[in-house]
Copies of this chain bind each other. A is one copy, B any other.
Amino acid sequence: MSGIDNFWAVVPAGGAGTRLWPLSRSSAPKFLRDLTGSGRSLLQDTYDRLAPAVGDRFLVVTGRAHGDAVAAQLPQLGRESILAEPSARDSMAAIGWAAALLERRDPEAVMGSFAADHVIDDPEAFRRTVISAVDAARDDWLVTVGIEPTHPSTAFGYIHLGDPLPGSPSSGKGSAYAVAEFVEKPSAEVARGYLATGRYRWNAGMFVVRPGVLLDLLGAGDPDFAAALRAIAADPARLDELWPTLPRIALDHAVAEPAAAAGRVATVPAGFGWDDIGDFDSLAALLGGDGTSVLGDADLVETVDATGLVVPGGDRMVAVVGLDDVVVVDTPDAVLVTTRAHAQQVKQVVDALKARGRADLT
C-alpha cells in the first residue's frame, strides 16, 4: 500500500464517445484509445496519474463487454479490481456499486471517482488537488474538483461557488468552497456571465467522498437504490438479480445536486489543465496549434494549403488539399471528413448508421 492513506480510486469506464466516431466505437470506446499520441490509452493515462495517490487501491467499473480489454490494458490490476456491469445503468449505479463494496472493505476509505477518458496535463498538480479533496472528504463533505474556466464553454456544466469552507483560505491554493449549486450546460451568453462573476467553475465530474457518505446521500432521496447497492456488495451472487432494477440516473442528478441544495457539497480548485475530449474540435485544440495536427503516423499524411486535424489510422496515405480547420479520421473500415465547427454533428452519422442497420460500424 502507498499513496494517500485509505484513498481509493474508482474509475467509471463507459460511454460510447459517439462524437469521436470512427475513432471511438461501442466495441472500442474512447477510454481504450490513445487520443493524445502518448502511446498509452486514456484509461492507462488515468491509471498512471492515480497510481501515486492510491497504489493498488483501484477499481474500474466497466461494461462486461470491455472487461477483458480493460484487464489487458491494465495487467497490474487483479481481476477483482475490475467491476463488470451486467448492463449500462448510468453513473450512479456504477459509482454507487464501487462505493458499497468499499464501505464494507475499508471503514476509513475515501473514494475518488475519476472518468477513464479525461485528459489532465499536470499529474503532480492533480495529486496535490486530490490531497486537498481527500482532506475535506474526511470531514464528510461530498467534494468535487472545480476547474477554472478558460473560456465560456457551452459543453460543460458549471459549479456555482458558495462560501469558503471554515478554516479554508478564501482564495488561492488550498481554498475550498461550499457549492451553492450545480448548473447544467449553459448558453454562450449565460456562460460569459458566469465567467464575469468569477464564482463559477467547470464541473469535471470528479467526486471525492467517503463511500458511506455517498450512499447515505443517495439513500436520503432513494432509499431503495442505496439498499440495492449495499445488498449487491453484501452478496455478489445477487448482482444479476438486482442490477436491472437500479435506476438509470447520473450521480450528478441522484446525489450531487440535492446534496448541494442541502449544503453538503464542497469544491476544491484544480491546479491542472483538464479536457474531456468531447469531440474532434476539442481533440484538435488539445493536440495542436494553428497548422495541421496529426494523431498517428505523420508519414501517412500529405497536406497542401490545409489546416486542422488528421488521424491516419487505416495504414493508408491521407491527403488533404485546400481546406481549413478540417477533420479527417481514417480507420480500417470507415473514414470521416468534417470540420472543427461541425464536430458536434458527428453523432448524427452514428445515429444514421444505426438507422441503416450498420451498427457494426458504430
Q: Are A316 and B314 in contact (CB under 8 A)?
A: yes
A125 at the interface (CB under 8 A from B): no
A residues sitting closer than 8 Å to B (CB atoms) are 21-22, 302, 304-305, 314, 316-323, 326, 328, 330-339, 341-342, 345-346, 348-349, 352-353, 356, 358, 361
Q: Are B338 and A330 in contact (CB under 8 A)?
A: no
Q: Give the complex CA separation of A214 and B312 in angstroms.
A: 52
Contacting residues, chain B, for A361 (C-beta < 8 A): 317
Q: A313 CB to closest chain B CB, in angstroms?
A: 11
B322, B338, B345: the one contacting A339 at CB < 8 Å is B322
Q: Given the known A-B contacts A22-B319, A361-B317, are A337 and B328 also in contact in the complex, defined by CB atoms under 8 Å?
A: yes
Chain B, Cβ-Cβ closest to A308: B337
Q: Are A334 and B319 in contact (CB under 8 A)?
A: yes
The count of identical subunits is 2
Q: Are A316 and B333 in contact (CB under 8 A)?
A: yes
Q: Are B317 and A342 in contact (CB under 8 A)?
A: no
B304, B314, B337: the one contacting A319 at CB < 8 Å is B337
Q: A230 CB to closest chain B CB, in angstroms?
A: 45
The 7 closest A-B pairs by CB, nearest first: A322-B342, A321-B338, A317-B334, A319-B349, A304-B348, A320-B337, A319-B336
Chain B, Cβ-Cβ closest to A349: B319
B321, B335, B337, B348: the one contacting A316 at CB < 8 Å is B335
Q: Are B302 and A323 in contact (CB under 8 A)?
A: no
Q: Are B336 and A348 in contact (CB under 8 A)?
A: no
Contacting residues, chain B, for A22 (C-beta < 8 A): 317, 319
Contacting residues, chain B, for A318 (C-beta < 8 A): 334-335, 337
Q: Are A338 and B317 in contact (CB under 8 A)?
A: no
Q: Are A335 and B330 in contact (CB under 8 A)?
A: yes
Q: A8 CB to closest chain B CB, in angstroms?
A: 41
Contacting residues, chain B, for A333 (C-beta < 8 A): 316-317
Q: A126 CB to closest chain B CB, in angstroms?
A: 34
B21, B328, B345, B358: the one contacting A322 at CB < 8 Å is B345
Which of A321, A326, A330 has the most C-beta atoms of chain B within 10 angstroms of its own C-beta?
A321
Known: A304-B352, A314-B316. 5 other contacts (CB 8 A): A316-B334, A316-B335, A318-B335, A323-B323, A337-B337
Chain B, Cβ-Cβ closest to A360: B317
Chain B, Cβ-Cβ closest to A361: B317
Q: Are A317 and B358 in contact (CB under 8 A)?
A: yes
Can you sample 21 A-B contacts with CB below 8 Å? A22-B317, A302-B352, A304-B352, A305-B342, A305-B345, A314-B316, A316-B331, A316-B332, A316-B334, A317-B333, A317-B335, A317-B353, A319-B338, A321-B336, A321-B345, A321-B348, A322-B339, A323-B339, A323-B342, A326-B337, A335-B335
Contacting residues, chain B, for A337 (C-beta < 8 A): 318-321, 323, 326, 328, 337
Q: A166 CB to closest chain B CB, in angstroms?
A: 51
Q: Are A346 and B321 in contact (CB under 8 A)?
A: yes
Q: Give the complex CA separation of A316 and B361 in angstroms.
A: 10
Contacting residues, chain B, for A336 (C-beta < 8 A): 319-321
Q: Given the known A-B contacts A322-B342, A338-B321, are A349 and B316 also in contact in the complex, defined by CB atoms under 8 Å?
A: no
Q: A294 CB to closest chain B CB, in angstroms?
A: 14
Q: A178 CB to closest chain B CB, in angstroms?
A: 43
Contacting residues, chain B, for A305 (C-beta < 8 A): 342, 345
